Amino acid sequence: MAGLRLEEFAVGQVFRHPITRTVTESDNVMFSVMTMNPQPLHIDFDYSSKTEWGKPLVNSLFTLGLMIGISVHDTTLGTTLANLGMTETSFPHPLFHGDTVRVETEVLSIRDSKSKADRGIVEFEHRAFNQNGVLVAKTRRSAMILKKAA
């Protein structure tokens, strides 16, 4: 599905994305290694076994990327010109190997660009949940989106 244009979004609109993804040990270790993050909480099973969680936590930046990535197919595929920023990002509960992530996105605001007539800015709130419905990540994201052609 192609992404939506600015005029196709509505404040308060909620997308419950049909794509889900089970996170694997390989995802977590590879992402941590690729981003040069040696945090033992993510990649060291012995170290992690001695923490309050008793096992490795999925790297929160992987969780953030996965959450936004899942949202793209229904919202901004091919219509985003730029991500302008993310705020109020939180990870209220850890994500673990074997957890399945589902995502919902809410449109918080929409406005025309002040400098370019062919685009505008949409503010989204993305929320990710594990298979038990527990919120594992949340962020507000502003994106520059194309308008419909005149």
Class in CATH terms, 6-146: alpha beta
pLDDT tens string 1-12: 488 999 999 999
User: Which pLDDT band holds residue 150 (cuts at 50, 70, 90)?
Assistant: low
Cβ-contact 28, 39 below 8 angstroms: no
How confident is the model over 139-150, as a mean pLDDT?
91
How confident is the model over 73-95, as a mean pLDDT?
95
Q: Measure the CA–CA gap between 21 and 131, rounded to whole angstroms.
A: 10
- For 8, phi then psi, to 5°, come to -90, -5
Q: Write the CA distances from 8 to 35, 40, 109, 148, integer angstroms.
A: 36, 44, 13, 9
Q: Measure the CA–CA gap between 95 and 148, rounded to whole angstroms.
A: 38
Half-sphere exposure of 58 (CA within 13 A, CB side): 27
The percent of the chain in helix, strand and coil, each rounded to the nearest 5, is 25, 35, 40
